[in-house]
Amino acid sequence: MPAPAERMRMMRERRRKRGLRELRLAVPDPRLRSVRKRVAAQAVRIDQGAEDEALSWIEAVSEFDTRDPSKQ
């Protein structure tokens, strides 16, 4: 069996042949109290009118999605 680094290289190569590319994201860690406090403070400042408008828009445009979820 190839070494782990070689297996990863082979996996990336297979994915690239399928038109895929690895993407890594760094996101805030919700387990940290400082992150939870910052998120809570931002949630308090949400403009409910803007939030409702955004959700209405998402619902409206989702009606145009003609893909059949059962075939995915």
Apex CA 42: angle with CA 41 and CA 47, to 5°? 125
Q: Where are the domains of the chain?
A: 4-63
pLDDT in tens, 19-64: 998 889 999 999 999 999 999 999 999 999 999 999 999 998 887 6
Contact 28, 35 (CB under 8 A): yes
What span, in angstroms and rounded, lies between the C-alpha atoms of 57 and 62?
8
Nearest to 30 by CA among 42, 20, 19: 42
Note the maximum CA span of the chain. Answer: 57
pTM of this structure: 0.50
What span, in angstroms and rounded, lies between the C-alpha atoms of 31 and 60?
34
